Amino acid sequence: MSTRKKNILKVIILGDSGVGKTSLMHRYVNDKYSQQYKATIGADFLTKEVNIDSDKVATMQVWDTAGQERFQSLGVAFYRGADCCVLVYDVTNTKSFQSIKSWRDEFLVHANVSSPETFPFVLLGNKIDADDSKKVVSNKDAQDLAASLGNIPLFFTSAKTAINVDTAFQEIARSALQQN
């Protein structure tokens, strides 16, 4: 029942500057973490092979911004043909959580997807390794938001310690495949 149109899964990561988008991508693709990623990290995307069945692989392209998210000026090429959109906030930053809806809207305006109602989004609350005293977004609020956005999957991650990163990207790959 292979009805996929292509074996490249395009995943884009959106969220306020500083939430950990670049760190999550590097943790997932290279299993590395560094305190400081330059805004000019280079390539538009990184790729990773993902297993579909025991005998099949697909290539996941993970598209990250090079800091332009501050100006919400991501070109059409960034959004075009996306199979899944990952929305990231920082559990220690209320404003980044409040921005999630507008990142989703931004995506839907630019990506020109055929059915916005069913397009796969995944929500990540990153920096879950932080001290409890610094966590300002409650899990309940995050769950409510995920529910209000159409019961989208929600994961609490840490690019720093790798908590839940593989699990989250497995779900991201799964939903990208369904879309594809």
CA 17 – CA 3 distance, rounded (Å): 37
User: Rounded CA gap, 122 and 134, in Å?
Assistant: 24
Distance CA(123)–CA(107), nearest Å, equals 14
Residues that bind ligand GDP (rule: CB under 6 A) add up to a total of: 17
158 binds, among Mg ion, ligand GDP, none (CB under 5 to 8 A by kind): ligand GDP
Which pair of structure tokens corresponds to residue 142? 């995050």
Stretch that binds ligand GDP, among 3-11, 13-21, 114-122, 143-151 (CB under 6 A): 13-21
Per-residue string for binding with ligand GDP, 31-70, x by CB under 6 A? ----x-x---------------------------------
| Distance from C-alpha of 22 to C-alpha of 155, rounded to nearest angstrom | 17
Question: Which one-letter DSSP state was computed for residue 158?
Answer: -
Query: Does residue 158 interact with ligand GDP by CB under 6 A?
Result: yes
Kindly list the distances between the CA atom of residue 24 and the CA atoms of 117, 127, 136, in Å, as whole numbers in the listed order: 26, 10, 20
Between 24 and 123, CB nearer to Mg ion: 24
What whole-number distance in Å separates Cα of residue 117 and Cα of residue 14?
18
Does 21 contact ligand GDP by CB under 6 A? yes
Binding residue (CB under 6 A) for ligand GDP from 9, 10, 12, 22: 22
Find the residue with minimal CB distance to Mg ion.
22
- Residue 102 beta carbon to ligand GDP: minimum distance, rounded to whole angstroms: 15
Residue for token pair 């990623």? 37
Question: Residues 62, 82: contact at Cβ < 8 Å?
Answer: no
Site residues (vs ligand GDP, CB under 6 A):
15, 17-23, 35, 37, 126-127, 129-130, 158-160
Site residues (vs Mg ion, CB under 5 A):
21-22
